[in-house]
Amino acid sequence: MATTTEPATSGEVQTVVAARRLEHVRSVFIGVGRPSTAAILARMVHNPRLVLVYESGTIGAKPFHIPLSIGDGELAETADAVVSVPEMFNYWIGPGRVQVAFLGAAQVDRFGNLNSTVIGDYEHPKTRLPGAGGAPEIAACCQEVVVIAPHTRRTFVDRLDFRTTVGYGDGPGDRERLGFRGRGPTAVVTDLGVLEPDPDSRELTLTHVHPGVEVEDVREATGWALHVDDEPQRTPPPTPAELSALRELLSR
């Protein structure tokens, strides 16, 4: 296990940056993997009152360990309430009661639309991915969405093979036209930086680069001509407190 004196890896920076976005948030919807780690870290170091909501129906779960699945026993045992799947989607997700949703995807496009269904043709896929799960309605209904994904050309593509989940659709006005109540993706946190939608065009724009990363690195890892903010900011590096808490959490 790495000690806090060793520099943060790009994956650790990504988790820490995602956790920081939850400092003033009341409730967050999370899947497993890095989103779950980030949300548990946020409860540890920034926001002990943060309500974690997992798709399995556990509301207000307080896991000590990082769960492998969204339905691990510890989530149910520590939750404020445990509800059925129809209740989760119809009473909690649908009406927009959950503030922020962390989502991952196999492909992300310039408008923050997501693919988690297939690579290749739908009828004869090259790679069959798991599918939609809860993502389409979560992205439509939660008050805002933060996408967490590894920054490679394989993930950040010019054109999705399948649009599983709508971010900003084909651009300004699409979410309103589709009747979505949530604001949509407010940030895409990667292991290289942070992309945020341009207020007018809705196109993802590079606003932060992580320590040790150059703007050119991010352009190189993006499958379209990436818009870059006039003065992209440097992500403040993880603090010793953030890094030691994350490493302690991962070692549990």
Partner 1 sequence: MAELTTLEEGIAGTVHDGDSVALEGFTHLIPFAAGHEILRQGRRELELIRMTPDILYDQMIGMGAAHKLVFSYGGNPGVGSLHRFRDAVENGWPHPIELEEHSHAGMANRYAAGAARLPFAVMRGYVGTDLAPVTRVEPITCPFTGEELVAVPALRPDVAIVHAQEADREGNVQLWGIPGVQKEAVLSADRALVTVERIVEALTPQPGGVVIPSWVIDAVAHAPGGSRPSYSLGITARDNDFYRFWDKLSRDRDDFESWMQTHVLNTVKAP
Residue number with CB closer to partner 1 (95 or 240): 95
Per rule CB under 8 A, is residue 204 in the interface with partner 1? Answer: no
Residue type at 114 in one-letter notation: L
Query: Can you tell me the distance from the alpha carbon of 120 to that of 158, in angstroms, rounded to the nearest whole number?
Result: 14
Per rule CB under 8 A, is residue 60 in the interface with partner 1? Answer: no
Beta strand extents in 23-176 (DSSP E only):
27-30, 51-54, 58-59, 81-82, 100-103, 107-108, 114-115, 118-120, 125-128, 144-148
Per rule CB under 8 A, is residue 105 in the interface with partner 1? Answer: no
Check: CB of residue 36 under 8 Å from CB of residue 28.
Answer: no
Query: Can you tell me the distance from the alpha carbon of 194 to that of 19, in angstroms, rounded to the nearest whole number?
Result: 13
Q: How far is the CB of 39 from partner 1 (least distance, A)?
A: 15
Per rule CB under 8 A, is residue 37 in the interface with partner 1? Answer: no
Rg from Cα positions in the chain: 18
Q: Which stretch binds partner 1 (CB under 8 A): 130-138, 184-192, 200-208, 225-233?
A: 130-138
Size of the site for partner 1 (CB under 8 A): 52
Check: CB of residue 223 under 8 Å from CB of residue 195.
Answer: no
Exactly one of 12, 55, 203, 242 is catalytic; which is it?
Answer: 55
Query: Can you tell me the distance from the alpha carbon of 138 to that of 54, in angstroms, rounded to the nearest whole number?
Result: 11
Per rule CB under 8 A, is residue 38 in the interface with partner 1? Answer: no
Residue number with CB closer to partner 1 (125 or 223): 125
Residue number with CB closer to partner 1 (126 or 252): 126
Segment 65 to 104, residues that bind partner 1, using CB under 8 A: 67-73, 75-77, 82-86, 88-90, 93-94
Query: Can you tell me the distance from the alpha carbon of 141 to that of 221, in angstroms, rounded to the nearest whole number?
Result: 30
Q: How far is the CB of 64 from partner 1 (least distance, A)?
A: 15
Query: Can you tell me the distance from the alpha carbon of 127 to that of 158, in angstroms, rounded to the nearest whole number?
Result: 18
**214 classed as catalytic:** no
Per rule CB under 8 A, is residue 128 in the interface with partner 1? Answer: yes
Segment 144 to 163, residues that bind partner 1, using CB under 8 A: 162-163
Applying CB under 8 A, among 140, 146, 157, 189 the residue interacting with partner 1 is 140
Nearest to 21 by CA among 46, 51, 55, 44: 46
Residues that bind partner 1 (CB under 8 A): 32-33, 55-58, 67-73, 75-77, 82-86, 88-90, 93-94, 117, 122, 125-137, 140-141, 162-166, 169, 174, 178-179
Q: Supply the residues annotated as catalytic.
A: 55
